């Protein structure tokens, strides 16, 4: 498994991800997506959107980031959307108390102190309040990772929502929040969508959008950030059927990642033992990163908590009226909540590979390749003239412009063809098309496959059809 530092280095060098505001020293927990990064993001979102909404019973919305502040009272975010925060008095470093403990457990396990790690993990699973976190840290003499100091403050709550104001006056009455999740935009629009789209239970609402959390500590590249994007679907169902739908969507979502190239061995389902106040079932889909398994999507049975709360706070009915069976009820909800940025990171880490191949003069050289699923690859094909003379550039450029109408494609004339192949391997480009001397004679071109490096010759008129067939195979 390749280190996170290796992945980050490639991501910057090839234009996948840059540190936000890097010329000013960067802004912690915020990242910019470069030319290849935005294409990979777009492809992930497009594949998710097709998977979730190209069906009869799920429709999409795009709700506003800013919502009426009562929304967050009803959802419980104002009162409960907090993390346990602790400061080290010596280093002045700030941590999430649960993360501090989990990292300490990981260090113990790496040192083969499994019994000690098991004991602390059991303590962590039974935590009910901030005093419990503090007691675990003090009793187990957990040190500050920076200074090794064990001099800690009390654990206190830290609300994760970013606050701002609407209008010219920064008054309490004008307070609004950047949404910490996109789900509430779907809940408050439940009746609007059901009636306008003429949907009946069961049906779902899907959305892709930004969310913001003022994390105490950001870490592990894109895994924990303050600004991120979510792919969420809320599936509204009849009470009593939630286990059936929970199992269905958990299976569907695991299979989506596998279908798009994630190795089965790197996927793990983690069932929640300690449930959120709104849930009666919950599981995480985790991917094995270099730092360990981490959540990339959560499947939650949220019961009727959200719709019931919004009905209470707004005074608007959130019921479904079943005229066929003469029933009236507030639907339960099964949620699929995936992170676009975390999925991006998982697909990038999963695709990264290094191998030794035969290079120029039969010498072995390292090949770095991103083995993305063909539908996710930022660039689908690259076009090269073998040499920059004899009419090859003109013919290559014509092929490039024709392909550009249908797929993301690059044109490259710089350096030896072998070096151009390596550049495209690092970008994850599935196909490289070379125009050479034989092309001038019979109009055939070489198409080289990224993964096998095998080459075939086809007529230039067949390129578009060949690639289209490969993408859909």
Q: What is the pLDDT of residues 369-416, one digit of tens each?
A: 999 999 999 999 999 999 989 899 999 999 999 999 999 999 999 999
Torsion over CA: 340, 342, 343, 344 (sign): positive
Q: What is the pLDDT of residues 121-142, one digit of tens each?
A: 999 988 989 999 999 999 999 9
| CB neighbourhood size of 327 (10 A) | 12
167's tokens: 């209008």
pLDDT of residue 333: 98
Mean pLDDT of the chain: 94
Q: How confident is the model at residue 80 (pLDDT cuts 50, 70, 90)?
A: confident
Helix axes 35-53, 242-259, angle to 10 degrees: 140
Residue 471: exposure state from Cβ atoms within 10 A (0-12, 13-18, ≥19): middle
Eight-class DSSP state of 274: S
Which residue in this structure is represented by tokens 């999430």? 96
Q: What is the pLDDT of residues 226-273, one digit of tens each?
A: 999 999 999 999 999 999 999 999 999 999 999 999 999 999 999 998
Residue among 144, 156, 32 at smallest CA distance from 90: 144
Phi and psi, residue 81, nearest 5°: -85, 70
| % helix, strand, coil for the chain, step of 5 | 40, 30, 35
- Contact assessment for residue 100 and residue 142, using Cβ atoms and an 8 Å cutoff: yes
pLDDT of residue 360: 66
pLDDT at 274 over 90: no
- How large is the average pLDDT for residues 56-71? 97
Helix (H) or strand (E) holding 194: helix 190-196
pLDDT of residue 278: 87
Q: What is the pLDDT of residues 332-371, one digit of tens each?
A: 999 999 999 999 999 999 999 999 887 766 678 899 999 9
Torsion over CA: 188, 193, 199, 205 (sign): negative
Q: What is the pLDDT of residues 91-117, one digit of tens each?
A: 999 999 999 999 999 899 989 999 999
- Contact assessment for residue 289 and residue 346, using Cβ atoms and an 8 Å cutoff: yes
Q: How confident is the model at residue 169 (pLDDT cuts 50, 70, 90)?
A: confident
pLDDT of residue 276: 83
pLDDT at 222 over 80: yes
Q: Which residues make Cβ contacts (< 8 Å) with residue 316, sequence separation at least 6?
A: 191, 310
Q: Which residues pair with 320 in a beta bridge?
A: 329
Q: Which residues make Cβ contacts (< 8 Å) with residue 204, sequence separation at least 6?
A: 52, 57, 58, 59, 233, 234, 235, 236
pLDDT of residue 213: 94
Domains of the chain: 4-67+161-347 (3.30.930.10), 82-159 (3.30.40.230), 379-471 (3.40.50.800)
Q: What is the pLDDT of residues 415-468, one digit of tens each?
A: 999 999 999 999 999 999 999 999 999 999 999 999 999 999 999 999 999 999
pLDDT of residue 463: 96
């Amino acid at each position: 498994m390749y280190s996170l530092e290796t992945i980050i280095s490639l991501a910057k060098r090839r234009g996948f991800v840059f540190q936000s505001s890097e010329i000013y020293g960067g802004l912690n927990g915020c990242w910019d997506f470069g030319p290849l990064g935005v294409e990979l993001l777009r492809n992930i979102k497009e594949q998710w959107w097709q998977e979730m909404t190209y069906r009869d019973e799920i429709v999409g919305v795009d709700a506003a980031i800013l919502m009426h502040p009562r929304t967050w009272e009803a959802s419980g975010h104002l009162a409960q959307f907090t993390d346990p925060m602790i400061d080290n008095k010596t280093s002045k470093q700030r941590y999430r108390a649960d993360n501090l403990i989990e990292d300490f457990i990981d260090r113990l396990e790496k040192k083969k102190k499994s019994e000690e790690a098991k004991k602390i993990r059991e303590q962590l699973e039974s935590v009910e309040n901030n005093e419990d976190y503090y007691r675990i840290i003090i009793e187990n003499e957990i040190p500050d990772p920076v200074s090794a100091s064990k001099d800690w403050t009390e654990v206190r709550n830290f609300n994760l929502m970013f606050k701002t104001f609407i209008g010219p006056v920064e008054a309490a009455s004008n307070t609004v929040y950047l949404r910490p999740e996109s789900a509430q935009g779907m809940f408050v629009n439940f009746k609007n969508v059901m009636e306008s789209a003429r949907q009946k239970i069961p049906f779902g609402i899907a959305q892709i959008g930004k969310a913001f959390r003022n994390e105490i500590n950001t870490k592990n590249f894109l895994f924990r950030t303050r600004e991120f994007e979510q792919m969420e679907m809320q599936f509204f169902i009849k009470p009593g059927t939630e286990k059936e739908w929970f199992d269905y969507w958990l299976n569907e979502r695991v299979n989506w990642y596998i279908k798009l190239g994630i190795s089965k061995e790197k996927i793990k389902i983690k069932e929640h033992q300690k449930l959120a106040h709104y849930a009666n079932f919950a599981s995480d889909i985790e991917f094995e990163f270099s730092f360990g398994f981490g959540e990339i999507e959560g499947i939650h049975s949220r019961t009727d908590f959200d719709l019931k709360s919004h009905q209470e706070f707004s005074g608007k009915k959130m019921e479904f009226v079943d005229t066929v069976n003469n029933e009236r009820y507030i639907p339960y909800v099964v949620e699929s909540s995936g992170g676009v940025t975390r999925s991006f990171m998982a697909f990038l880490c999963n695709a990264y590979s290094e191998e030794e191949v035969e290079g120029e003069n039969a010498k072995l050289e390292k090949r770095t390749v991103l083995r993305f699923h063909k539908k996710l690859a930022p660039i689908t094909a690259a076009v090269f003239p073998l040499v920059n003379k004899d009419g090859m550039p003109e013919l290559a450029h014509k092929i490039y412009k024709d392909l550009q109408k249908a797929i993301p494609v690059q044109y490259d004339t710089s350096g030896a063809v072998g070096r151009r192949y390596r550049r495209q391997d690092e970008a994850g480009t599935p196909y490289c098309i070379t125009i050479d001397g034989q092309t001038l004679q019979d109009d055939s071109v070489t198409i080289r496959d990224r993964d096998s490096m095998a080459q075939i010759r086809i007529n230039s008129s067949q390129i578009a059809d060949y690639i289209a067939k490969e993408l859909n195979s």
